[in-house]
């Protein structure tokens, strides 16, 4: 791994935690983000300032973008369908995921474990057939999750 410079991002791979099979590859990922919410607390008799106390971790949704593919028979496609199109007819199934940053040598160079994830949004970018025909149809998948932890590099 390159310890001194930025890592080149070739693609991102998503797996079920503990499974070596790649569920999907993505060209862009965002939402690996956590922050603490805070609660303002006024001390009795002290009006000069307000204490700011940490309250809870807050995680943003994981947003993954890739070219649109036709298959909904994959494990990922079935999970999306069962969660987003079921009309809440069943229990929402959460999964632990592993997201890997794949480098130029086609090997993972960094990875994160995302626990308690479930799909919250599926979106296809607007279709535009005008132009030179090189534009890709892009789909966006969005997942809510409980926690994210960076794991050992490339594992």
* Domain span including residue 73: 11-32+59-151
Instruction: Give the CATH number of the domain where residue 124 resides.
Output: 2.30.110.20
Q: Is residue 126 part of a domain?
A: yes
Q: pTM of the prediction? A: 0.80
**Cβ(100)–Cβ(17) below 8 Å:** no
Domains contained in the chain, number: 1
One digit per residue, the tens of pLDDT, for the chain of length 155 reads 555 567 777 889 999 888 888 888 899 999 998 888 899 988 887 778 898 999 888 899 999 998 876 665 678 888 888 888 877 677 889 999 999 999 888 888 899 999 999 999 999 888 776 766 666 788 899 999 999 999 866 55
Is residue 92 included in any domain, yes or no? yes
Q: Is residue 54 part of a domain?
A: no
- Does a structural domain hold residue 37? no
Q: Per the domain annotation, does 52 fall within a domain?
A: no
Q: Would you say residue 46 lies in a domain?
A: no
């Amino acid at each position: 791994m390159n310890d001194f410079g930025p890592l080149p991002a070739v693609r991102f791979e998503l797996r079920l935690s503990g499974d070596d099979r790649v569920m999907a590859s993505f060209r862009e990922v965002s939402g690996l983000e956590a922050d603490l919410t805070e609660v303002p607390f006024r001390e009795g008799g002290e009006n000069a300032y307000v204490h700011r106390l940490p309250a809870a971790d807050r995680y943003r949704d994981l947003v993954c973008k890739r070219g649109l593919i036709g298959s909904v028979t994959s494990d990922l496609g079935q999970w999306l369908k069962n969660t987003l199109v079921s009309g809440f007819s069943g229990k929402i199934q959460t999964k632990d995921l592993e997201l890997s940053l794949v480098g130029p040598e086609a090997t993972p160079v960094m990875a994160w474990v995302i626990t308690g994830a479930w799909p919250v949004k599926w979106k296809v970018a607007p279709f535009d057939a005008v132009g030179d025909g090189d534009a890709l149809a892009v789909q966006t998948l969005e997942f809510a999750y409980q926690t994210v932890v960076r794991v050992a590099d490339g594992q």
